[in-house]
Structure 1
């Protein structure tokens, strides 16, 4: 069923990098929920694999001294949803990854694998874009950190250099402190389906909850890679919390998104739901922040 040439198991991060240098054509396998399917379909038949699944140092969520939330790349979706740090500070990410597949996939699938796949429909990706996440990569030249918007290069391709592995996803304190958010996944079914469109919004209100200090919105499947909508973000910064502001925000997203026609949905339909979901997500984020849209 699985045409695999060889499987090498890494003992630690350094060993994983060494194995990738020794076998430059090899693919990294973590949970295997994507790679094994691709092999079974014949897309990567005869592949060499370097397994990093046993590297527990790449699992778990912790708060670093400067307030940065560090999510190990092998952390499963189920772990993220249940983690106390996630629930307290960036619960939207837990809500988003809880929409991935079914329980079996969420137990085995990892956030590192989800982002390294480079697909625009990944439920974690748009949410991480809205959190201004930073991707930590470790390779032969050491550690480098890349803003997630630069990590995604084009559909199915990310900035992962030869013999590099993704080791963590970092959320700086300034990206979540004082913010509330909401993620909406629009799909043809309520479960076990790929997103037709994903929309994630974070908002920070002033102390009196009367003005929008900052807002971020990111989409999945609104373009070839996950993307932010800077026109919408700029349009409401410093504006009063109101229905008019929400409406302006939603209309402005159409200046930045680039959806396409596909068998799942037409371009026109994706533009329509991009507008609708922007309104719903911002309204919910404002209400979660203690504000009221009137």
Structure 2
């Protein structure tokens, strides 16, 4: 038995937004793979819950008229990595989705919940950072669309305003079109483990040069980050092994890795360089380029 004071199960998004507006202290529960564990451990004892499980439509994945791919916040990770549109247009997101937890967890854990947890180890976060994804946030009276980078406020903290719900993740056409991508999760075991480091790279290669490159890191700082200096260095450079190695070295600079029981600071920084090089090289290959020696 969970120690909760009330449970709301609205049947529509409008009803959910109205309930949250009237009760902004409610804890929103989507798949429940994090919230229920926290309840069991007592950290949310006495909380009121707003369940989104009955909000049909928030799990939909679709391409909008301008080419933006909209991923509903209630889409489970299994749905994401099996979705034909995601597999065809944004396969790196499939890689991130299938690396999350195990089959039972992926069947119920949602991408919106993964983001709203604010966990630096969230497998979807570094990939969405690299894709320049946007978040659609709605209240009973308003909505706003913000970049992923504006959402994370610190470890386990996100910039959700009172009464606000994340309803969709938007991946603009320029974030994925013509891009090769690769996500690498480094963990102690292959499944059912939290990432020691996550590296996502997407790139566009034209005439053997980097036309665009974006690198997202998870568990490299208090929040997921982008490697802007490495990305700027790459633009226009010939795709060579030496250039990719320098990109990887520059990817370490924005990191604020720390020592924990999972890995030391020095080891995490070593992983960033090694895995960034591998991720970029594979992204180049998948984008139709070749990393010359």
TM-score range, shorter chain: over 0.9
Matches within 5 A, 1:1-294: 1-206=1-206, 208=207, 210-294=208-292
22-31 or 36-45: bigger deviation: 22-31
- Cα drift, residue 191 of structure 1: 0.9
Aligned residue for 1:93, secondary structure, equals: helix
**1:149 positional shift:** 0.5
Q: Deviations over 1:243-284 (max 9, x none)?
A: 011011011112211111111101100000000001000010
Unaligned stretches of 5+ residues in structure 2: none
SS in 1 for 2:54: coil
* Partner secondary structure for residue 242 of structure 2: helix
After superposition, give the CA deviation of every residue in 1:208-247 in whole Å (9 maximum; x if it has no partner).
3x11111000100000000001111011110001001101
Task: Using the TM superposition, give the Cα deviation of residue 143 of structure 1 relative to its aligned residue in structure 2, in angstroms.
Answer: 1.2
Partners of 2:254 and 2:8 in 1: CA distance: 43
Q: Secondary structure at the match of 2:272?
A: helix
- Tell me how large the CA RMSD over aligned residues is: 0.8
Deviation readout 1:195-219 (Å, 9 max, x if unpaired) = 000000000011x3x1111100010
1:27 Cα offset (Å)? 0.4
Deviations 1:25-83 (A, max 9, x none): 21001111110000000000111001111111211210001000000000000000010
Distance 1:231 1:13 in 2: 40
Runs ≥4 residues deviating over 3 A: none
The two structures have a TM-score, normalised by structure 2, of: 0.98
Q: SS of the residue aligned with 1:120?
A: coil
Q: Give the secondary structure class of the aligned counterpart of 1:75.
A: coil
1:141 deviates by 3.1
Report the Cα distance in structure 2 between the residues aligned to 1:85 and 1:238, rounded to whole angstroms: 30
Cα deviation for residue 21 of structure 1 reads 2.3
How big is the shift at 1:177? 0.9
1:57 counterpart SS class: coil
Equivalent residues of 2:21, 2:139 under 8 A apart: no
